[in-house]
């Protein structure tokens, strides 16, 4: 069975542009990771993440310099995987100040390949203040008879149920 002439386009690389999620979110204090896929043929090109409302006002945050080795700049790191044609961006200890418009970019002659990503940061889960709404001791220590007795009570109940059923 041969390939129909109308299906020849399936043999072409599907990805001719960058592919990134339009929006990602993270909780403040956590680590944000996102991926940017690029077309075959751009493996050795410099990839970067930049921040700004438009592609022309975008300032580079971190870049690969065309290598696969991870590069780090403060809390932000970037790594290029040439086999899977994907760039991984990681931001550690995300803060609400990190929210905004970012771009995944591939440097090339003429106009760079660039796609926008919106980063949203939700506030961290509130932590109770020390001593506020917290038990004074562990639940096991406060049970009558201590941990040993509290572990035996469910076993004794189970045994008496089994005896009644049998």
Tens of pLDDT, residue by residue, the chain (166 residues): 444 444 343 333 444 689 999 999 999 999 999 999 999 999 999 999 999 999 999 999 999 988 999 999 999 999 999 999 999 999 999 999 999 999 999 999 999 999 999 999 999 887 766 655 554 443 333 334 444 433 443 444 334 444 554 5
Q: Quick one: pLDDT at residue 94?
A: 96
Residue of 106, 104, 36 whose CA lies nearest to 66: 106
* Dist CA 37 CA 86 (whole Å): 4
pLDDT of residue 28: 96
Q: 52 and 117 in contact (C-beta within 8 Å)?
A: no
What pLDDT was estimated at residue 138? 37
Q: Is the dihedral of CA 109, 58, 74, 118 positive or negative?
A: negative
Q: Torsion angle, CA of 155/161/165/166, rounded to 10 degrees?
A: 40
Second-level CATH architecture of 23-122: Sandwich (2.60)
Q: Supply the pLDDT for residue 12.
A: 37
pLDDT score at 85: 96
**Given this model, what pLDDT does residue 126 score?**
76
Residue spans per domain, the chain: 23-122
Check residue 134 and give its pLDDT: 53
Asked whether the whole model's pTM tops 0.75, one would answer no
Task: Fill in the DSSP letter of residue 70.
Answer: -
What pLDDT was estimated at residue 124?
Answer: 83
What pLDDT shows up at residue 11?
A: 38
Phi and psi dihedrals of 141, rounded to 5? -70, -30
């Amino acid at each position: 069975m041969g390939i129909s002439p109308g299906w020849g386009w399936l043999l072409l690389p599907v990805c001719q542009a960058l592919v990134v999620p339009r929006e990602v979110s993270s909780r403040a204090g956590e680590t944000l990771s996102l991926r940017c896929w690029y077309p075959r043929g751009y493996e050795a090109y410099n990839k970067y993440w930049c921040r700004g409302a438009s592609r022309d006002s975008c300032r580079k945050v971190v870049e690969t310099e065309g290598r696969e080795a991870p590069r780090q700049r403060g809390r932000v790191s970037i790594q290029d995987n040439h086999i899977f044609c994907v760039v991984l961006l990681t931001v550690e200890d995300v803060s609400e100040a990190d929210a905004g418009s970012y771009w995944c970019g591939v440097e090339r002659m003429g106009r760079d390949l660039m796609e926008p990503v919106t980063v949203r940061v939700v506030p961290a889960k509130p932590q109770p203040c020390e001593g506020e709404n917290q038990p004074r001791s562990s639940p096991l220590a406060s049970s009558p008879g201590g941990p040993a007795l509290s572990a035996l009570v469910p076993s004794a109940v189970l045994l008496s149920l089994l005896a009644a059923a049998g």
